[in-house]
Structure 1
Amino acid sequence: MTASAPLPAVRSGRVAWQLAQTLWVGGAWMLHFVLLPALERFGLAPFLVEEIGAFMRPLVASFAAICALLQGIICWSALGSGWWRDTRGQVLGLVLASAAAHLAAGWWFQAEYWAMFSFLLLCFAGLVLVLQPRPDETAR
């Protein structure tokens, strides 16, 4: 193996990071900023669009939490024990906290404003994470 070729584990971590990030960030943005407004513009009843959003947002937030956990593992393996001091680690922690807040606000407390705020926080934390380099690009 040459010195410039990445190890298979590093390459698979790179692919997993990008795939997980693309799926959850793209899914959250697509749901909130494209699909639901398109359904409203298409002429569906507002109550129906609200019901679709109320059904889909917790699913997307749960999927984002699972993907953020995977990305956290990749970040930990690339950066070591100081992963939480890195911007990516902190943003992933924010994603996990906002996903938990969204699920708690929506299911247990029935606080729709907090649920919407936490979902939007999750979306914008994903945008910040997309703007960061992969952990293997700045590792050690």
Structure 2
Amino acid sequence: MSKSNTSDAIFRAPAIEAILWQLSQVFWVGGLWVFHVGLVPALRIIGLAPLLVDDLAAQIDRWLIGVAAVGVLTQLVVLARVAGVSAWWRVFSGQILLVGLAACFGYYLLHYGISVDERWQMFCFVVLGISGLVLVAQSVPVRARKPHL
């Protein structure tokens, strides 16, 4: 039996790495899916002009990809701090983060560098969204704590 209830493992505060991981994941994965699954269809249902909705979606997509890139980079830094840089290609969540980062760079490269059809940009967006959903299903990387005696 412990001296106080606050020293039990149940009541320990989560590590800063876990908090950063989940917070960045909420912003970039949640933002991508809420916007395209919730807001854009709702704008179409209420009867806004289709060209207006498409233009709005195209403008906000660029910002969402930027937020996603910052979130992915934050999660890569957290993963490197917890498990080392080699975890980027050794751990499944690191591999998924690298896929997401490649999708972000691919989107911007296709949009600003190579002018191609919007379907390839949407492909990068879908890859980023699916990698975010797969990443949500993974466990949060945390540093192993030393037991208190």
- Residues 35 and 138 of structure 1: is their aligned pair in 2 closer, same or farther, counting only changes over 3 Å? farther
Which residue in the other structure is 1:39 paired with?
43
Which residue in the other structure is 2:133 paired with?
127
Note if 1:103 corresponds to 2:102. no
- Residue among 52, 66, 72 paired with 1:62: 66
Q: After the TM superposition, list the runs of 4 or more consecutive aligned residues in structure 1 that deviate by more than 4 angstroms.
A: 2-6
Which residue in the other structure is 1:14 paired with?
18
Note if 1:94 corresponds to 2:95. no
- Contact 2:82/2:143 (<8 A) preserved: no
In the alignment, the residues of structure 2 paired with residue 57 and residue 110 of structure 1 have an alpha-carbon distance, to the nearest angstrom, of 16
Letter in 2 for 1:63: V
Letter in 1 for 2:113: W
Greater C-alpha Rg: 2
In structure 2, the residue corresponding to 1:136 is in which secondary structure? coil
TM-score by length of 2: 0.83
In the alignment, the residues of structure 2 paired with residue 97 and residue 104 of structure 1 have an alpha-carbon distance, to the nearest angstrom, of 10
- Contact 2:83/2:143 (<8 A) preserved: no
Question: More helix by proportion, 1 or 2?
Answer: 1
In structure 2, the residue corresponding to 1:110 is in which secondary structure? coil
Letter in 2 for 1:62: G
Q: How far off its partner does 1:107 sit?
A: 2.3
Letter in 1 for 2:131: A
Structure 2: unaligned runs, 5 residues or longer: 1-6
Which residue in the other structure is 2:57 paired with?
53
Q: How far off its partner does 1:110 sit?
A: 3.1
Letter in 2 for 1:118: C
CA RMSD of aligned residues (A): 2.2
Q: How far off its partner does 1:137 sit?
A: 7.0
